[in-house]
Structure 1
C-alpha cells in the first residue's frame, strides 16, 4: 500500500479533526477564555473543563469510552435476538511494512494507540483484543464514524419514500434553510460534502472561527444546537463543484432525518430501522448538542457503541446490507454510498457519501483520532479499530492504513 493513500483533503480533515481541543493545562479557578465569551452556560464548570480537554493525549484513552459521563445522552436501544457472530480465533501471524520498517501486529497495537481491535474474515471473528481496561461491553466514541451511520439512515429514509429523491433540494424538507448558503443544494451534494457552504473545518481555539465557535457553543457549553449556523451560513462555492469536509453538512442530514422520521427522534428511528434489526448486543447512545430539552442527537460525530456492534455494522456492509438474516439496508444504497465521486481535482477522489474510499474497492468509516470500521469486499475483510491517537497525529493514521492492507491480504487458514 502506498505510504500516503489519503488526499490532502482527508489529511486536513483528520489532522485537525472535529472538536480537537488544545492540550494546555487549565487553571482550577477559571475557564479558558473562549468559554467565558458569549452566552452563559448552565453546564457545570468542571464538566466544561473536561469537555474542553477530552481529546488531549493524556486523557483520551479514557474519555473516548466515557462520553456518557461527560454529556447528556440519548439511548439507541437494542432489542430481540443478538446477531451471533461466528468466531475462530487466530494469532495475527504476519508482519506489515511501514516507512521502511517491518513490524508485527503486536507492535502495531502500541505504535498506533489501540484501545480495541477486531478482525473479521468472511462472517467470522478471527481476532479480538481489548486494552487499557476496556472490554467487550465498553462503548467507544465513534466520532465521525457517526457520519457513515447517518448515511445509512438517509438511505433507509429514501427507500421508505420519506425522502423522494436525493436530487431534491434540502429546503424542500427544511424550509428554514431557504435564503442562505444551503438554498438550492441537493441532498446528494450534502452527502458528498459538496454543499459549497462557507464552513471551514478548522479548530483553532485561540482564534475561533465558525467551526471552533460552533463546537464550543453546541458541545462544550450546550447553549446552541450544532446545526444552527446552517440557517444563515454563506456560500463559498457553487453546490457540487468542490469537496470540502465539514461536519455541518452531516448535521443538516441529521436535521433532515428528524424532520422526515414521522415525529420520531433520530435515536428512535435508528433503533427501529438499524440497531434492533442488526442484532446489536448492547444499546448505543448519542451525545446531545444544545440546551437540555432543545438539543438533539449529534449526528455529525456523536455515537458510541461496542467494538462488536461496530463490527456488525461492517459485516452488514460487507454483506450488501444483509444482517442477522434480514436485508436491513438496500444493497443498491450500500453500493451507491461507498462509490467515490468523480473528482473535480486530483486530490478529491477519496470520498463517497459519508464514507472514505481507500482504493482497490476498500472503504471505511473514519472518526477523529483513530476510529475505524474498515471494509474490504474484495478480500472479505472487516476491521474495527478504536484508538486514542494524540491530536493531529498523521503518522499513526498512515501506519494504520498500511496495517489494514496487510491484514486484508492475510489468510489465517493458511499454514
Structure 2
C-alpha cells in the first residue's frame, strides 16, 4: 500500500487499492460501494479485516517461509510497565486501546517478553498489511544486493538499470538518492486530490494502468541529493532497480535473502498491481506476521547478524541509523514531518546518542529498533486515518519509555 508523507494531516480518502473484486456483481448498490470503497475499507472497524486480508482482494506473490523456523525464546514477561503522555500515566492496554493496536510484540535480548493481538482478526498466524514499512524491507534487500555485487554502487544512476526511464526525471538520481528520498522528482502523496500525481499512480496500481507511464510523466523539482521529499515512487523505482540488478522478482529475492535466512515461520506475500505485467510495490505491498517482523528487527538490532550469520551488511545497518546530511537530520525534514523524526536509507531515524530507528507504515505500523538496548518492538495498528500526529506522538513516547524500562531492568 502507498503512504501519505508523515504529518500532512491528510485523511486517507482516495483509494482502497480496489476492492473491486469484492463489489463487482453485487447489482444494486455496487456503484455506491465502488465510489466509497476507500472510506469503507480503511475506516474502523472494517479496516481491521482489510489490513489482515489483502490477499482476498488483490493478486499476490508469496514469500515462502523458512524450511526450519527459527525459535523465538520467551523471556521474563513484561507486566508492570507504564509510560507518561500528556501528563498522564498509562499502561500498554491503554496504548493499544487509544492507538488501535492489532498486533504487538517486544523482543529484549532476543527473547519475547510481550506478545498480544488485540485486533479482531489478528493472531500469530495473521499476515498484516505493512504499508510503507515495506520500504524498510526493500532497503534491507538493497543492502544485501550491494554486498553481493548485483548492485554496483550507491552512486549508480537508477536509469542505468532501467532504460525505460531514460529522458525522464528519474534519469539522473542515483540509487543512494532514492534510498534517502532525495531524488528531486516532484511527487505529492495527497490522498484527497483525485487530480494529484499520487492519485494517478494509485489508479494505475488498482485499475490496470501503466505505472511506468505515471513515473515517466513526473517532473523534476530539485537537484538530486539536495532535498527530502517523501515519495512512494522513489521506493517503487528502487524496487524496480533491485529486480533489474538481481534478475529476480522482489518476492523471490525476499525469500532467498531474508525470509529463509531469518527463520520465518509464516509465508509472507506482496500484493501486486492489477495490470500486467503485475509487479510488487517496493514501497508498500508487503504483508507479514508479527513474529517474523520481529525476526527482521532482531537482525537490524544486532548489526545485521543472526545466530552468527551476517544477513544484512553491518555498514548497511549503520547507514540506516542516520545519515550525515543536514536535510535528513531529525527535525529537518520539513513542515510536513513530525520533528522527532529524521530519515535515512528508507528508515525513520530518532537521532540522539542512542540512534534508534524505525520502519513506519500508515495507519500505525511500526518496526522499532534500538540496538543499544537490544530491543525490538513490532506494533501493527488500524488507525482510521492514514496518519495521526497524536497517536504517533503517543506511540513514540510509549516505545521510548519501554526501551528505557527494559534497559534499566524495570
Normalising by structure 1, we get a TM-score of 0.87
Alignment partners' CA distance in 2, 1:140 and 1:388: 10
Whether the aligned pair in 2 keeps the contact of 1:192 and 1:341 (CA below 8 Å) is: no
Alignment partners' CA distance in 2, 1:102 and 1:236: 45
Residue 244 of structure 1 deviates from its aligned partner by 0.5
Aligned to 2:346: 354
Q: Does 1:374 find its partner at 2:368? A: yes
Whether the aligned pair in 1 keeps the contact of 2:294 and 2:378 (CA below 8 Å) is: yes
5+ residue gaps, structure 2: 18-22, 334-340
Q: Give SS of 1:126's match.
A: strand
TM-aligned CA distance change 1:184 to 1:414, over 3 Å: closer
Whether the aligned pair in 2 keeps the contact of 1:202 and 1:212 (CA below 8 Å) is: yes
Q: Does 1:389 find its partner at 2:383? A: yes
Whether the aligned pair in 2 keeps the contact of 1:279 and 1:324 (CA below 8 Å) is: no
Pairing of 1:35-46 with structure 2 (within 5 A): none
TM-aligned CA distance change 1:329 to 1:404, over 3 Å: same
Pairing of 1:237-248 with structure 2 (within 5 A): 237-248=222-233
Q: Does 1:258 find its partner at 2:250? A: no
Q: 1:46-73 deviations in whole A, cap 9, x for unaligned?
A: 7x96567422233111111111111100
Alignment partners' CA distance in 1, 2:238 and 2:304: 21
Q: 1:77-102 deviations in whole A, cap 9, x for unaligned?
A: 12322111111241431211111222
User: Aligned pairs, how many?
Assistant: 386
Whether the aligned pair in 2 keeps the contact of 1:224 and 1:289 (CA below 8 Å) is: no
Residue 15 of structure 1 deviates from its aligned partner by 5.2
Alignment partners' CA distance in 1, 2:174 and 2:241: 12
Whether the aligned pair in 2 keeps the contact of 1:119 and 1:382 (CA below 8 Å) is: yes
Residue 347 of structure 1 deviates from its aligned partner by 2.2
Q: Does 1:403 find its partner at 2:387? A: no
5+ residue gaps, structure 1: 1-7, 33-44
Pairing of 1:276-355 with structure 2 (within 5 A): 276-291=260-275, 293-344=276-327, 347-348=332-333, 350-355=342-347
Alignment partners' CA distance in 2, 1:113 and 1:378: 28
Q: Does 1:10 find its partner at 2:6? A: yes
Q: Give SS of 2:372's match.
A: helix
Q: 1:214-258 deviations in whole A, cap 9, x for unaligned?
A: 112312x23333x54222321011111110101000000111112
